[in-house]
Amino acid sequence: MIKLTFSMIVLIGFFAACRSNNMIACISTDKDTAMVGDTIIFNDCSGYDGDTEAATLWFGDGNKTIILNREPIKHVYSSPGKYEALISIGGPEQGSRFSDTIVIN
């Protein structure tokens, strides 16, 4: 009976660990300030603990893209301004979001 109880506890702990969705969204850029027409490289530095392999990145200028497998993304802003780039990983209930400001002169 003790062996069966221990096995059930281990099995329950295993399934609970597999369903863990610890996600911390993070985006970094190669420049915080740039000129109109400059290429900015966005890197997904998010922490994934689960099976999420894609993130959505909004550039703050009306454009967005999907990042697959943390591939770097290049973007060019066509107008001067202050833009808030936002990355979202996971879903609305268990996901995470992070934003960074980029100034284009």
pLDDT digits (tens, 9 = 90+) for 20-51: 457 889 999 999 999 999 999 999 988 876 55
* Predicted local confidence at residue 87, as pLDDT: 94
Least reliable range by pLDDT among 4-8, 11-15, 66-70, 82-86: 11-15
Reported as a pLDDT band with limits 50, 70 and 90, residue 8 is very low
Q: Among residues 60, 93, 55, 56, which one has the least CA distance to residue 78?
A: 60
pLDDT exceeds cutoff 70 at 68: yes
Q: Output 45 or 64, whichever has higher pLDDT.
A: 64
Q: Among residues 52, 36, 2, which one has the least CA distance to residue 44?
A: 52
Largest CA distance in the chain: 72
